[in-house]
Amino acid sequence: MEAKTKTEMFRNMSDEMKRENMAAEQRMVHRIQRIMMECHREKMEAVEKAREEERQIAQDLLEAQRSKAMEELVSTGASIIKDQRMNFNQIIREKEHEMNIYYGIAQKQKQEEAQEVLQEAEKTHQATLGNVMDKLVNTQGELLSTVNQLGIMTNWKDFLEEELQETRAAFQKYIDYTFPQLSPGQADFIMPERRKTPSNLLMDNEATLE
């Protein structure tokens, strides 16, 4: 009976130990699972953190590359603009030089044309002046000839007038000698009456005097 009791007691103790071992194993399993879960969570957090850091680093690198690219682009654009501006200024200077050359040529042509016009006008003026001088000389010669003719005619007129006066005086003496009984003035009817100078001759004489 005592042996049976001991056996029962050992069995109970063995069962109790088994239960405790199983409970301990379960607790160990739970603890290991919890530790594994915590490790997994920490691992995932570390991975996420590493990925975030990698993304940040990649973004920083991308921003740096973008900034560098923009700087290079701006620098290149400024250099291109500067080169284009220099080329544009060079083109402007060349065009101004060409325009100055064309303007000088045009100005020279205008001066030559103006000089030709002036020379032609001078030739025309000289020719006209020569014609006028020739006409003036001819007119002066004609005037001198007319004056000479008028002088000759005036001399003839004076000569004829003087001869007529002498003839009338001689005739008057003849009448006075032939008719001594007549008083002075009574024999005037015998003398021919002096004619009046025609009006056209008076006008010609006045025009000649003027």
Give per-residue pLDDT as tens, 23-33: 777 877 788 88
What is residue 188's predicted lDDT score, i.e. its pLDDT? 57
Check: CB of residue 194 under 8 Å from CB of residue 171: no
Please state the φ and ψ torsions of residue 117, each to the nearest 5 degrees. Answer: -65, -45
Categorize the per-residue pLDDT at 108 as very low, low, confident or very high, splitting at 50, 70 and 90: confident
DSSP letters for 102-167? HHHHHHHHHHHHHHHHHHHHHHHHHHHHHHHHHHHHHHHHHHHHHHHHHHHHHHHHHHHHHHHHHH
The pLDDT score that the predictor gives to residue 81 is: 66
User: Which range is least confidently modeled, 47-51, 135-139, 160-164?
Assistant: 135-139
What region does 179 belong to: left with phi over 0, alpha with psi -120 to 50, or beta? beta
Cβ atoms of 174 and 187 closer than 8 Å: no
Burial class (CB in 10 A: 0-12, 13-18, 19+), 89: exposed
pLDDT band at 89 (very low <50, low <70, confident <90, very high): confident
114: its two tokens: 């103006």
Confidence of residue 6 (pLDDT cuts 50, 70, 90): low
List Cα–Cα distances, 52 to 41, 42, 64, 86, in angstroms: 16, 15, 18, 49
Placement of tokens 């001689």 in the chain: 170
Q: What pTM was computed for the model? A: 0.33
